[in-house]
Amino acid sequence: MKPTIPYFQFRDFPAGSEAAVQAALVEAVASKHYIMGKDLLAFEEEFACYLGATAAVGVGNGYDALVLALRGVGIGAGDEVVLPVHTFIATINAVLQVGARPVLVEPDKKTYNITAATAANAITAKTKAILPVHLYGQVCEMEPLLQLAKDHNLKIIEDAAQAHGATYKGQRAGTFGHVSAFSFYPTKNLGALGDAGAVVTNDTAVANFVQKYRNYGEVQKYQSEMIGVNSRLDELQAAVLRVKLQYLDSLNAERQRLAAVYLQELENMPDLMLPVTAPGCSHVYHIFNVRTKQRDALQQQLREQGIHTAVHYPVPVHLQPAYSLLGYSAGDFPVAEELARTNLSLPLFPGLQPDEQERVVEAIKCFYR
């Protein structure tokens, strides 16, 4: 039996990066300053600078980043927020958490992202914001979305949890809207060794709000201006992220190189739709997601050969029992429902070896032969 090919695995890529991360951790431990120390401050500055934004504020995780971003631009009870039905549940939960109503819209059939065209239909008198998700690592086509938001006087909150470093017309994800949310969950393109997230904005008032709100609303110790929460980005994680940020471009380049191999090798398979990158967009392939009517059979056959894959996401949010309160039913989102039935994510992570990728390619070719 050949060795298993994991869907995802942490590997020492680029070589030596694991040792560099460990050295930074040891140093951070030795600093004896574990909450909001110099590494957090430095990371916030370095990440904002990398993106080309005014400010990044470290928070506990990506979900909190979304919640604080929404609160930061004043979204609350009675407001409607337009967002994709085809996303990870965190996006929707964050909107519900602040008391607003998530209004779901279909993704585009090719890019799997929402577009101005799909979002426009969902706008009502109560809509306060659009929350585009840069799904799988591809930035949404932002220009039309920004125009739509402007026309209706709406805020744009970006969920950039899967798109660290991706660009649209040369500008990085997370810098288009009024505010954006990042996750540094370990498997993300920029990942910590535990939970972490960040709110990014060019609006100093929003940055100031999040800085206080994440730390109990304190302006300084024991002086509260508002009732906040505890959602600070851990100092040890900040030390890790500072090192990994330096590798982000090469990690993304490696993901793009691996994607290019799949795109070339699998070009002519019958009934296999490969990911499409829209004009002006760059794709950092957080997830390499293909589609086929024979999804279950293909996944099963790969698995029999020790090749692990994933499905993003198997049940659309509007069909999950927990979200029945939103009042949607089967058939409301045919595109998303079809995606759920047909999508399959192939192994793609920095450090995946050529012989491993070759085995995946051959197994897929064999399936269609």
User: Least distance from C-beta 174 to ligand PLP, angstroms?
Assistant: 12
Stretches 32-40, 85-93, 213-221, 341-349: which one binds ligand PLP (CB under 6 A)?
85-93
| Nearer to ligand PLP among residue 87 and residue 309 (C-beta) | 87
Q: Per CB under 6 A, which of residues 123..162 are in contact with ligand PLP?
A: 133, 159, 161-162
Minimum distance from residue 1 beta carbon to ligand PLP (Å): 33
Please select the residue that binds ligand PLP; options are 111, 127, 183, 201, rule is CB under 6 A. Answer: 183
Ranked by CB distance to ligand PLP, the top (closest) residue is 62
Site string for ligand PLP, 87-106 (x = CB under 6 A): xx-xx---------------
Closest CA to 233 of 179, 175, 193, 173: 193
CB closer to ligand PLP, 50 vs 185: 185
Q: How far is the CB of 66 from ligand PLP (least distance, A)?
A: 6
Q: Pick the binder of ligand PLP from 43, 47, 50, 63 (CB under 6 A).
A: 63
Q: Is 160 exposed, middle or buried (0-12, 13-18, 19+ CB in 10 A)?
A: buried
Q: At which residue do the structure tokens 């101005």 appear? A: 116
Residue among 6 and 186 whose Cβ is closer to ligand PLP: 186
Q: How far is the CB of 317 from ligand PLP (least distance, A)?
A: 12
With CA atoms as reference, report the closest residue to 16 among 243, 187, 235, 241: 243
Place of tokens 């969950």: 185
- Collapse the DSSP code of 264 into the 3-class scheme (helix H, G, I; strand E, B; otherwise coil) and give the result: helix
Q: Count of CB atoms within 10 A of residue 24's CB? A: 19
Give me Rg for the CA atoms of the chain: 21
Shortest reach from residue 369's CB to ligand PLP, in Å: 35
Q: Which of 112, 136, 185, 333 binds ligand PLP (CB under 6 A)?
A: 185
- Give yes or no for residue 215 binding ligand PLP (CB under 6 A): no
Distances (CA, A) of 151 to 64, 80, 120, 123, 148: 29, 16, 10, 11, 5
Give φ, ψ of 355 to 5 degrees.
-70, -30
Q: Which of 102, 107, 132, 197 binds ligand PLP (CB under 6 A)?
A: 197
- The H or E element containing residue 237 is helix 235-265
The nearest distance, CB 91 to ligand PLP, in angstroms, is 5
Please report, as residue ranges, which positions from 160 to 179 form the binding site for ligand PLP (by CB under 6 A).
Answer: 161-162
> Which string of x and - marks every residue 18-57 that binds ligand PLP (by CB under 6 A)?
----------------------------------------
Can you list the alpha helix ranges (DSSP code H) found in 105-195?
116-120, 142-151
> Terminus-to-terminus CA distance in the chain, angstroms?
22
Closest approach of ligand PLP to the CB of residue 161, in Å:
3
Residue from 40, 50, 61, 231 binding ligand PLP (CB under 6 A): 61
Q: Closest approach of Cβ 312 to ligand PLP, in Å?
A: 9
In sequence order, what are the residues at sequence separation of 6 or more whose Cβ sits closer than 8 angstroms to the Cβ of residue 12? 18, 19, 351
Which residue type, as a one-letter code, is found at position 167? T
Contact range with ligand PLP by CB under 6 A, out of 9-17, 18-26, 58-66, 233-241: 58-66
Instruction: Number of residues interacting with ligand PLP: please give it, by CB under 6 A.
Output: 15
CA-nearest of 256, 265, 258 to 283 is 256
Closest CB to ligand PLP among residues 195, 235? 195
Nearest to 310 by CA among 280, 343, 336, 277: 343
Number of H helices, E strands in the chain: 11, 13
Residue carrying the six token digits 């993003």: 312
Contact 307, 359 (CB under 8 A): yes
CB of 271 to ligand PLP, least distance (A): 27
Binding region for ligand PLP (CB under 6 A): 61-63, 87-88, 90-91, 133, 159, 161-162, 183, 185, 195, 197
